[in-house]
Chains A and B, each alone.
Chain A
Amino acid sequence: MALLEIKNMNISVDAGGMEKRLVQDVSFEVSEGEILGLVGSSGSGKSLTSMAIARILSDDYKVTFEEALFMEKRLDLMSEKELCDIRGKEIAYVFQEPMTSLNPVVTIGKQAEEPLILHFGKTITKEERRKTVIDALKDAGLDDPEGLLDTYPHRLSGGQRQRVMIAMAMITKPKLLVADEITTALDVDTRNRVIDLLKHYRETYGVSIIFISHDRKLVDNLADRVITISNGKILENAGLSDDDMPSPTTEKGRTRQKRAGGLDKPVPEPVLTVKDMSFSYKDKNIFGKTEITPVLKNVNLTLFKGETLGIVGKSGSGKSTLVKVICGLQTADKGEVTIKEGYEDPQMVFQDPYSSLNPAKTIGKILKESLILGLKRKGIKPSDYTRTKSYGQAVMEMLKNVGLSSEIAFRRVRELSGGQRQRIAIATALISEPKIVILDEPVSAIDADLCDQVLELLSSLREKFGLSYIFISHDPEVINRTCDRVMVIEDGETRERKK
C-alpha cells in the first residue's frame, strides 16, 4: 500500500494574465519506509513538486491534482486547517538553505519544540517536551544538546543548522520526510554524515523519505527508486539512463583531456608572489591592552602566468584573510606581496552573487560603474578610454564574453537566475580588464549543472584574456577539476598539495 500517491499534479503561475505551466501531469507514489529519489536540474520543478505535496507553496502558485492520497486521505480536498494538522506531524520538510531556514531571533530549543506544541499541545508536559527535544537533537548527531537549547542559530555552522532542521522535522516521528536539496550547501564530509543520518532514521523509525537532489550519484547511493524531472515533467525510464545528466566523472575526464592536449607549457612566469607573509588581528580591549589573534603565519605562494592556483581550507582557516591581503584590503604585519608590472589591480568574484550585486541598479549600470572605477584605479582618463569604444559597447562586449544576451543590461539582479547572476559577477570583475582574478567560492552557491557551465566559462575566459586565477573552494572535487596546482591552508599555514 502506498503511503503517498500523487496523480497528475499540475502547478502553474499567473504570468501577466497568461497561465504559465511549471509542473505538468506529474504522478508518483511513495511506499512506506521507501526512499524515493527525485532528480532534476535547477528550475526543473522538483522543489515545486515537493512543496506542493503538503501544499506549502505560496498563493502565487496554482496547484491542481487529479488525486493526492496520503495515508488514504485526500490531501487535495483538505481545508487549510486540516493541512496544518498534517504538516510537521505526518509530513515534515527539510530545505536546502540551512543558513536561512531557521528563525534568527528564536532559540534552537524554542524552534525545535514548536512542532510538539502545535501538534500535541497540552498532552505532553514541559519537561517531556524538553526531554524529547534533547533526544531528537542527540539523535541527529549534535553534541551538547542541552547547551543548544538556549543558543541562537547564528552561533551554529551550516552543518549543525541542517542537523537542527532535520531533528526538528523528525521530532514528531512523521510518516514522510521531504528532504529538498538538504546537502547542497554542505561540504563533502558533512554531506556524507547527513546521508547516513537519513538512513538511520529510515531504519529506526521506518520513515519514508523523498530525497530531492540535482546530484545523481548521491541519489543513486541513497534512494531505493529514482525518478527524474525535467522541465516540469517526469522523464520515462529515468531510473536507468544516465544520459540526461553528465556524470561528474566523465566531465572531469573531459576537462583533463582538454588541458593535456592544450598548449605546450612554456617556462612559468610568476605574476604574483607572497613571501613570508604574516597577519594577525589586533583588537584593543577596554584597558587599552592589545589582544593579538594570529591568522596567517609565514605564508608563501606564487601564482604563475596563465595558471589556476587552487586554495583549499576549512572555514576559518584564513583563506579570506589571505585574499584580502593580496587585494590590498588588509595590510600584512610582515612579509610582502609582489605583483608583476602590468598585472596590478587583481579583481574578485564573490561566492554569493545575489548579495554582492546592488539590487537597485540595472546590470548595465553595475558593469559601467565597475569599468569606471577600474579606469580610475589605473589612472586612465575616461576620455582616453571612450576614444576607442563607448562604455555601452564595453558593457555589451563583456556580456557577450560571459555568454549572456545584451538585453540583460536592462534588467536587475532579482530578475536573473542563479547562473546568470554568477556570470554577471564574473563580468563585473573582468570588465576593468584585470590580469589576475581571485575567485572566492564561485560555484558553491549553485547546483551541479550550472557549476559545470560556470567552470567551463571561467576556463575559456582564462584562455581568451590570458588570465591567472586564484581559485578558493572548500570542495576538493571542484578544485581537482579546475586547478593546475593546489595550496592547502590550515591554521594559517600553507603547504602545496601534490596532485
Chain B
Amino acid sequence: MRYVGKKLIALLVTLAAISFVTFFAFTIIPGDAATNIMGMDATEEEIEALREAMGLNDNIFVRYGRWLLGVLRFDLGTSLQYSIGVSELIGGRLKATAGLAFESLLIILVLAVPLGLLSALKPNGALDNCITTLTQVGMAVPQFFLGIMLTYVLGVLLHVFRMGGYVSPGDNFGAYISFLFVPAITVAVPKLSMMTKYLRDCIVAEKRKDYVRTAKAKGNDAARVLSHHILKNALIPSLTFFAMIVADVFAGSIVCEQVFSIPGVGRLLIASISNRDFPVVSAIVLYTAALVVVTNTLADILYRAVDPRVN
C-alpha cells in the first residue's frame, strides 16, 4: 500500500514537471497565437492589443499558473483554430482514437500469447522459424504501406471494406466498430510482431530454468508445464512491454489516422501544430505524456501484484 502511495506521488510530480516543460517549450518557439489569429494584414498595434487581451504579455510563471489552474479545473482553454473548447474538441477525437486503440489491443492480446506459445513450443523448429520470419516482416513493413495494401486488397479488390467510411459511434456503433477493424490491424501488426517475439524469447528462456525440470519430474505433460508453470513466469516481464504498447496506441497513430481518414487525436495534433493552436497542442502533449506515465505506473503496481518476489 505504501508502495502504491509512493508511486502515486511520483506520478503527480512527473506530471507537474511535464506540464511545465510543455508550457515552457511553446513559449520559446517563435510566432504566437495573436499573430496567427489576426493574419498577415494586421498592424502591429492591433496584434499588440490582442496579445494584451489574451494575457500573452504576462510573466511566464503567471501564464503557467493560469494555465495550470485551468487544467486542474478540466478547462484547457479554447482552440484558436476551431473556436471551441479544447476538452470538447479532444473528447470528440478521442472517440475515434480510443476505438482504434481498443480494437488493436484486442488483436494483440488475442494473437500474441498463442503465437508466442506456438513459436516457443519447439525453438528453431519449422513453426518457430515460420512465425519468426512473419514477425520480422511485421516489424519491418512501414505502417503507411501496410495500410495502403490492406485498403487496396480489402477495399478495392474484395470490396469488404469501405474506404474513408468512418462513422461516429453515436451514429452507428456497429459500423464504427467494423470500419475501425482494418485500421486496427494496421496499427496492431508491428506491435503484435514485437510482442510475439518478446514473449517467445521469454518463454524459451524460462524453459531452461530449474523449476521446469521439477514440474516435469512431477508428472506434468509438456502442455501443462507450459500452461501452469512457464506461462505466468514469462508473462511477467511482458507486462512492462505491453504497458508501453497501450500508451502508444492510445496516443493515436498519426500515420494510420491519415491513411484511413480517421478523425483521431493524431491527426488533430498535426493540424494544430501547423496552425500554432497552442491550447490544443499543449493539451494533446499533456494527454500523451500523462498516458505514458499513468500506464507505466499501473504496470509497476500490477507487476508487484503478480510477481511475489518484487518487494
Residues of A within 8 A of B (CB): 54, 56, 80-81, 84-89, 92-93, 95, 97, 100-106, 114-115, 118-119, 152, 154, 165, 168-169, 286
Contact = CB atoms under 8 A, between A and B. Distances in A.
A92 B218 CA distance: 7
A100 B210 CA distance: 6
Given A104-B211, A104-B233, A106-B229, A118 B309 contact: no
The 10 closest A-B pairs by CB, nearest first: A88-B219, A88-B218, A152-B308, A93-B217, A100-B210, A87-B219, A103-B211, A101-B210, A118-B219, A101-B214
Contacts of A81: 221
Nearest to A104: B309
B130 to A, nearest CB: 20
B217 A84 contact: no
Interface of B: 2, 5-6, 209-211, 213-222, 224, 228-229, 232-233, 236, 306-309
Given A115-B219, A118-B219, A152-B309, 13 more contacts: A56-B217, A80-B221, A87-B217, A88-B218, A95-B217, A102-B214, A104-B309, A105-B236, A105-B308, A114-B218, A114-B220, A154-B308, A165-B214
Contacts of B224: 118
B236 to A, nearest CB: 7
Contacts of A54: 217
A393 B6 CA distance: 52
A154 B217 CA distance: 21
Given A104-B211, A105-B233, A115 B218 contact: yes
B218 A102 contact: no
A103 B229 CA distance: 7
A186 B2 CA distance: 36
Contacts of B215: 103, 114
Contacts of A102: 211, 214
A89 B211 contact: no
Contact of A95 (B214, B220, B236): B214
A460 B227 CA distance: 51
B233 A103 contact: yes
5 contacts: A88-B219, A88-B220, A95-B217, A102-B214, A104-B211
Contacts of B216: 56, 87
Contact of B220 (A104, A118, A154, A286): A118
A487 to B, nearest CB: 32
Given A152-B309, A154-B309, A101 B219 contact: no
A119 B219 contact: yes
B221 A84 contact: yes
A113 to B, nearest CB: 11
Max chain B C-beta neighbours (<10 A), residue from A100, A105, A169: A105
A105 B214 contact: no
A37 B224 CA distance: 33
A115 B307 CA distance: 23
A42 B194 CA distance: 40
B221 A89 contact: no
A85 B220 CA distance: 9
Contacts of A104: 211, 233, 307-309
A86 B233 contact: no
Nearest to A90: B219
A81 B222 CA distance: 10
A93 B211 CA distance: 12
A17 to B, nearest CB: 16
A41 B2 CA distance: 50
Contacts of A80: 221-222
Contact of A87 (B211, B218, B228, B232): B218
Contacts of A92: 217-218
